[in-house]
Amino acid sequence: GQQLNQSPQSMFIQEGEDVSMNCTSSSIFNTWLWYKQDPGEGPVLLIALYKAGELTSNGRLTAQFGITRKDSFLNISASIPSDVGIYFCAGPLNNDMRFGAGTRLTVKP
Partner 1 sequence: DTGVSQDPRHKITKRGQNVTFRCDPISEHNRLYWYRQTLGQGPEFLTYFQNEAQLEKSRLLSDRFSAERPKGSFSTLEIQRTEQGDSAMYLCASSSEGWMGGETQYFGPGTRLLVL
Q: Closer to partner 1 at the Cβ: 52 or 77?
A: 52
Q: Which of residues 73-102 bind partner 1 (CB under 8 A)?
A: 88, 90, 92, 95-102
Residue among 16, 17, 50, 55 that touches partner 1 (CB under 8 A): 50
Annotate 48-67 with b (16+ C-beta within 10 A) or e (fewer).
bbeebeeebeeeebbbbbbe
Least Cβ distance, residue 64 to partner 1 (angstroms): 17
Q: Which stretch binds partner 1 (CB under 8 A): 11-19, 34-42, 55-63, 66-74?
A: 34-42
> In angstroms, rounded to a whole number, what is the distance separating the alpha carbons of residues 84 and 82?
5
Residue 39 as a binder of partner 1 (CB under 8 A): the answer is no
The stretch near partner 1 (CB under 8 A) out of 42-50, 52-60, 64-72, 77-85 is 42-50
Burial 29-47 (b: 16+ CB within 10 A, else e): bebbbbbbbeeeeebeebb
